[in-house]
Chains A and B, each alone.
Chain A
Amino acid sequence: MADLISRPADLVSTARPEPLVDSLAERLLRTQAPQRPQSTPVIRLEVDGRVVEGREGQTILEVCRDNGIEIPTLCYEPKLPGFGACRMCVVDVAGEEHPPISCSRLAEAGMLVQTQTEEVRRLRRTNLELIFSDHNAYCLPPCQNKCPSHIDIPGFLKANAEGEFRESARIFKRTIPFPSILGRVCPAPCEEHCRRDEVDEAIAIRDSHRYAGDQVILAMREQDVDPPVPFELQPKSGKRVAVIGSGPAGASAAYYLLIAGHDVTIYERDAAPGGMLRYGIPEYRLPKERILDPEYESITRLGGRFACNQALGRDFSLDDLQNQGYDAVVVAIGCYDTNKLGIPGEDAEGVIDGLEYLKIATLGLTYPGHAGTRVVVIGGGFTSMDCSRTSVRQGASEVTLVYRRDMKDMPASGEVHEAIEEGVTTIFQAGPTRVIANAEGKVTGVEFIRMQLGAADASGRRRPEPAPGTEFTIECDRVLLAIGQGPDLSWIGGDSDGVEATKYKRLKADAVTFVTPRPGVFGAGDVRNGAQTVVAAIADGRRASYAVDAFLKGMDLGEIRTRQTLAEPQPEFLSIVPFTSEVKAPRNRLRSMPAEERRLNYVEYEIPYTPSEAVAESTRCLQCTCEAIGFCDLRRLGIEYGTTLKTLEPQNNRGAGFRSVTENRFTGSNHDYIRDDSHAFILREPSRCIDCGRCANVCAEVVGAACYDFMRIGFDTLVTTPLDMSLNDTPCVSCGRCAETCPTGALMPKPRILEKYEVDESRCILCGICVDACPYDALRCGPDFELAHVSREEPMIDLIAIAAVDRETEMTYVRRERDWLERAIASGRDVGPRQLPVLPSSLAGGASGNGSGGAGHPHNGHNGHGPAGGGAAGHAHNR
């Protein structure tokens, strides 16, 4: 070659290197990847005060992982060298100005490494906060996020849509034992946040689980089918638990404790179990015999016992229970003491406690002398609504509801229009100043004052303030007070000592572990929180049951706290891409009986769905949950580093259990990307992408397809396909490795069913990419796939050699195959009679003789099922 080029004589030299051919492929082949020796010297370094052993050439991260020391990473892919994008694996190394990243920094003998210093944890926390500030996505869907008990709403709606109502109820019962009761009495905070609202109308979530629950009750009543149990029943633990109070909180705690294998007795003050569900909610909203009793039967069917007419402080004390051998006691006695107005004349005859009134009414009795009276109901909660509407049904001549705030701030605002239909007069933004009584002390009217709305208070609602000079009087015969309740804590002390009341007159119990100052005694529900919704009480009861279960299993408080916190946290979510392509379908509303009819009786006035309506309504769900929930590294780290919210901590967001977006220090502009579901197997959700680059690296370096890369620049950088094209237009081989490596839900495998691949052997070039790319090693062991009919021992492609290759230092399949023969011989395998891979002569390296001999007939052995020696052995080997 060199001789052909004429040059000035004085410049010609004899030893001339080959001219450089400047092409990427050529350079890859010329460049020897550094081969790691079989065995490298052992080094010792100190990590977190512990001396650990590693090998020379390992990174700090590898050494730590080998020694079981956890360092968080988001972008590290074990098959590849450290990339260094996420900056989560920073560690403190003595003598370094800035903490290096452990995935790229080689471990050195004698190094002093600390993985959890204040500084590196702060850096990681900042990084996570930055990621979340541009993470336009969420883990739990908004409905589930907003549900106090975090019901798997997309899950049960999906089961509903498939007509699997029993399965739907089972999913529901994982977080709330009573789908039918909640289907009637829940204020459904979930529906306010349903994203279907962006398309047309929110899903009727409550009515959907109501239908599913009703099907379970129907099957139980008519065919005596046990209701579904959400979890596997645990073997009997031999521990005994007393639950005091059979209301929603107590019943839910008992239910999950029974499933956990404990022996549970529920003590109830009244004659029948149910608490406020039975004695506070009128029959027309919650039928007692048809719905409440059967749902409560699920507790007795699990072995729970109700001890009725047993009141704490009257019939027994905490000492009594613990002396009887109960291992744990859950106090869930609710709130039954109606608050006082604190205004003059309150003691006049005719001023009635709303709860007392409802208790009489729900027993089916007429409250004495109610018919024909003029009634004023004061309050805006569910109790006030129940009082008003029950008064209508009991024949009051005139019912006026007065609430001091605006209608939209009313807890029971959803029910107001129904009350008005039934004839209730409503007055908003007015507060009572005094009760007017006649000479005999009987009520003749109430004086009110108009309220104007001031600054927002702790609940986010604007505080009402009296407007002087706007007093007015409503004449009436009866006043029903429904202005909230507190728990009756008069039993504390004496034989029930050791528990305490808070300054707000609630039972003092931890918000996360539910423990009271008295060992073995827990508090849950309204008695701990003050009067709340049924769903909040049930959620409290369920969480308390987890804490009690952990306590009975002997865990200490710290463990319980960690377990409880991890069970329920939810990262915050930002603004959300609207669904634009959905077909519009209006909500299926429950029909009601006409107001004229229903105001005269206590029959449940809502007409349930037909089966087809129930399915149709559930089908409307967009299933906008994150598919990666439970597998997401970002979520796990967000929880660990406290950059996500903790629902169990009531101090977050004023007790609403939801940390708002503004609490992220870095909230600013963020990206909205469109979901790409054009590919058959891989679902791309770029809004969940954190730009770690793992998919791009794996696709390029391991698979060789290189579908993804970092695109655009600056803040707008996104790891995506060129021009954001569909994966169908890239060299994608559908191997799924990208989805496998994705640390979040940005790339997810779509569910698919494939029974068998057809391989056209006449076209196979033995490139081996399929084998290499297969994320589940299916091409190594399946009997029906490419090349599987010949032996694993003597394959066409040297699979054993491939398997033995150190992927971290190899870049392409071709290069790996160059020294195939040497390695096969070195490992003592017989390479004699079989076919060898067809490689270009330039790549064949040291392969000679046998290798080139087989190269001309690549398919002979391939097709030879029987005659080739490998065939029979192969079949045997496959089994």
Chain B
Amino acid sequence: MTTILQTSADWPRPLLGEAPVGPAPAADPADLDAAVRAGAFVGLTRALRDLGATLTTATLAESGLRGRGGAGFPAAQKWRAVAATPDGVRYAVANGFEADPAGGTNRHLMTARPYAIVEGLAIAALSVGAEEAILAVRAEYADAVAVLEFAVAAAEEAGYVGEDVLGSRRAVRMTVRTVQGAYMLGEETVLLKALEGRRGQPEQRPPYPSERGLWGRPTLVHNVATLAAVPWIVVHGADAYRAIGDPEAPGTVLVQVSGAVATPGIAEVPTGTSLAEIVGLAGGVANGRPLKAVLVGGPSGGLLPADLASTPYTFGALRAAGAHVGSGSVVVADDRTCIVDLARLLTRYCADEACGKTIPCRIGLRRMYEIGERIATGLARPTDAQLLADLGADIVGSALCDHERLATGPLETAMRYFRPEIDDHILRGVCPAGVCALVGVAAAGTAHGG
């Protein structure tokens, strides 16, 4: 089902392991014995018996691992924050709610490498002193839920998790919770609300979940891809991990390349790999057409033009370019795509998926979409470009959660990199890509305006 893209042989693969490249996994990933033979739970044993919580956390800090949920927060800082709280009850939550409809990396990871996640979560829980560990998985991912439930049960039976982890008298009670809901559940405070059985709406941060999370208790929330890297780091050491990829945010990331590429699929690449290289892994743009834009980061990601294809895939560089790591999806658009059309579609998605809590998000994003719609249909007002910029800045300025803050991205980057194309729509009433049906005759008449 999922295609794993062939990557350079000398790239290490801490997340996907040494599994063969191709459409079907060779062994049953839920087979505990096979996994243990391949080295699973070595890291847990080591963290528990040799390192202890402090050294494990120190190793993690040394490795420079940053959260793979999109924001790239240093993982060890979160662990220390949770561990430092005076509260006796803490939680560790693995975020397996992959919200991005174009994403699939978490799903693949959960089905192909369940024990890496279970082990990573167990190490994390032990290190921060959480006795409850929750794997929150999107309910629609029935395959991932089944695999993880099996894996947790098998691990518990074997004593790797449960009331007494490896005879240490330390408990990590691990459960798989399916959560159902909208896009917003990918945001950590929203996910926690959903786990509490309440409407998925974000909370103001700070306080961060590491201070007040699930049920008001300190909670460690990590993306499953972050946790899956933890055992590897414990086993191979911090230096080995830090040697991979970009020194600022070392390690590997899972990217899902889709859109107008020859062979869409998932690849594990070191951070710092350029976008062009990632697109190249998928065989380049399909049918040899020219690359027009790359959407990096999911529906709220940024639309980066072809001349920014050399941008390295790192948190900082992508953020500076107006995009973000987000779900790890990289969607390629060729020259038949209209940027206005694409950006308004993405904004519409983000607006429709807003939880409705805050005014700038609920109404503001909708208004941004409506401006995009006006531009795409040729009914734009001369002031619309400025209005779009002003509104986007104000939404970011008073945003509550990251969805709200990032959802202005598609239109904002479209304005930043594709201004001539937008001006063609607004001022000349033509869509260069021939996608938009511009009904507004008035658009041609305002060519002198703007």
Residues of A bordering B, CB below 8 Å: 8, 10-13, 15-17, 20, 24, 27, 31, 33-34, 82, 84-87, 90, 98-99, 101, 104-105, 119, 122-123, 126-127, 130-131, 133-134, 665-666, 668-669, 690-691, 693, 709-710, 712-718
Contact = CB atoms under 8 A, between A and B. Distances in A.
Interface in B172-216: 173, 182, 196-197, 199, 201, 203-204, 206, 215-216
Given A31-B216, A85-B358, A715 B366 contact: yes
A105 B201 CA distance: 18
A126 B132 CA distance: 43
Interface string B158-170: 0100111001010
B363 A90 contact: no
A98 B163 contact: no
A85 B365 CA distance: 15
29 contacts: A13-B169, A16-B171, A82-B204, A84-B358, A85-B400, A86-B359, A87-B359, A105-B204, A122-B394, A123-B397, A126-B390, A127-B394, A130-B359, A130-B363, A133-B363, A666-B363, A668-B366, A691-B356, A709-B199, A710-B199, A710-B357, A713-B354, A713-B355, A714-B351, A714-B366, A715-B351, A715-B366, A716-B356, A717-B362
B394 A713 contact: no
B135 to A, nearest CB: 14
A127 B354 CA distance: 16
Contacts of B196: 24
A82 B159 CA distance: 43
A10 B167 contact: yes
B353 interface: yes
B370 A130 contact: no
A824 B353 CA distance: 50
B391 interface: yes
A98 B398 contact: yes
Contacts of B131: 17
Contacts of B363: 130-131, 133-134, 666, 715
Interface string B363-399: 1111100100000000000000001001100101111
Given A11-B167, A15-B169, A20-B132, A715 B396 contact: no
A499 B197 CA distance: 72
B352 interface: yes
A123 B206 CA distance: 20
Given A15-B169, A119-B397, A668-B370, A31 B356 contact: no
B360 interface: yes
Contacts, number: 135
A651 to B, nearest CB: 19
B356 A713 contact: yes
A33 B216 contact: yes
- Max count, chain B CB within 10 A of own CB: residue among A8, A119, A127, A131: A127
Given A11-B163, A123-B398, A714-B366, 18 more contacts: A85-B358, A85-B359, A87-B358, A87-B360, A98-B396, A99-B397, A126-B398, A127-B359, A131-B359, A666-B367, A669-B366, A669-B370, A690-B359, A710-B355, A713-B182, A714-B353, A715-B352, A717-B362
Interface string B324-368: 000000000000000000000000000111111111101111110
A751 to B, nearest CB: 31
Contact of A104 (B159, B163, B204, B352): B204
Contacts of A90: 397-398
Nearest to B184: A713
B391 A126 contact: yes
Most chain B C-beta atoms within 10 Å of own C-beta, residue among A16, A122, A716, A717: A717
B39 to A, nearest CB: 23
A433 B132 CA distance: 94
B163, B171, B203 — most chain A CB neighbours (10 Å): B163
Residues of A contacting B: mostly: loop
Interface in B377-432: 387, 390-391, 394, 396-400
Interface of B: 131-132, 159, 162-164, 167, 169, 171, 173, 182, 196-197, 199, 201, 203-204, 206, 215-217, 351-360, 362-367, 370, 387, 390-391, 394, 396-400
Contacts of B203: 84
A715 B360 CA distance: 10
A714 B362 contact: yes
Nearest to A27: B215
Contacts of A27: 215
B354 A84 contact: no
Contacts of B366: 668-669, 714-715
A101 B356 contact: no
Contacts of A715: 351-352, 354, 356, 362-363, 365-366
A324 to B, nearest CB: 56
Contacts of B217: 31
Top-3 shortest CB links A-B: A717-B356, A104-B204, A715-B366
A15 B199 CA distance: 37
A693 B370 CA distance: 25
Contact of A11 (B159, B201, B352, B391): B159
Contacts of A131: 359, 363
Nearest to A74: B359
Contact of A16 (B163, B199, B360, B387): B163
Contacts of A17: 131, 171
A131 B364 CA distance: 9
A98 B398 CA distance: 7
Nearest to B131: A17
B105 to A, nearest CB: 25
B260 to A, nearest CB: 28
A690 B360 CA distance: 12
A27 B171 CA distance: 19
B201 A710 contact: yes
A98 B363 CA distance: 20
Among B351, B360, B390, B398, residue most surrounded by chain A Cβ atoms (within 10 Å): B398
B359 A691 contact: yes
B359 A714 contact: no
B353 A713 contact: yes
Contacts of B391: 126, 665-666
A99 B367 contact: no
A674 B176 CA distance: 42
A126 B215 contact: no
B83 to A, nearest CB: 18
Contacts of B167: 10-11
Contact of A84 (B164, B204, B215, B356): B204
B163 A133 contact: no
Contacts of A122: 394
A134 B364 CA distance: 10
B428 to A, nearest CB: 24
Contacts of A716: 356
Contact of B394 (A84, A126, A712): A126
Given A11-B163, A713-B182, A715-B351, A668 B201 contact: no
Contacts of A665: 387, 390-391
Nearest to B171: A17
Contacts of B394: 122-123, 126-127
Contacts of B387: 665
A669 B370 CA distance: 8
A27 B215 CA distance: 8
Contacts of B201: 710
Contacts of A127: 359-360, 394, 398
Given A123-B397, A133-B367, A710-B201, A85 B353 contact: no
Nearest to A718: B356
Nearest to B352: A714
B367 A691 contact: no
Contacts of A712: 356
Nearest to A14: B169
A87 B197 contact: no
A131 B398 CA distance: 14
B101 to A, nearest CB: 15
B360 A126 contact: yes
Contacts of B159: 8, 11
